[in-house]
Amino acid sequence: MSLPIDQVEAISRAVAQQYDPRLTVVSLASSGGSARVELLVTIDRCRQRPYLVMVNVTRAGEAALEQELREKFRDALNR
């Protein structure tokens, strides 16, 4: 069962702030009952202002979501 979008939002924002304070989850989008969700994330203090990243993550469960968020945030910060 997919996590509700409000829970995905809360987890995503918490993981972003724990991972790196420069990350801010701005918005989320999901189509219907999809097991995936798109996050629009800003990275503060980058050369480009604002630096926006779109990431696609799972809604399949809290542990899987948190792991995928950390991987996607790491990749975004290393660009």
In the chain, pLDDT over 90 holds for what percent of residues? 68
Six-digit token string for 79: 């660009």
Select from 62, 45, 52 the least CA-distant residue to 25: 52
For the stretch 24-52, pLDDT in tens is 999 999 877 788 999 999 998 766 677 88
Six-digit token string for 40: 């629009």
* Backbone phi and psi for residue 44, each to the nearest 5 degrees, phi listed first: -80, 155
The model's pTM is 0.88
Let me know: does 39 contact 55? Beta carbons within 8 Å.
yes
Report CA-CA distances (Å) from 72 to 1, 16, 29, 61. 22, 10, 16, 16
**What is the residue extent of each domain of the chain?**
5-77
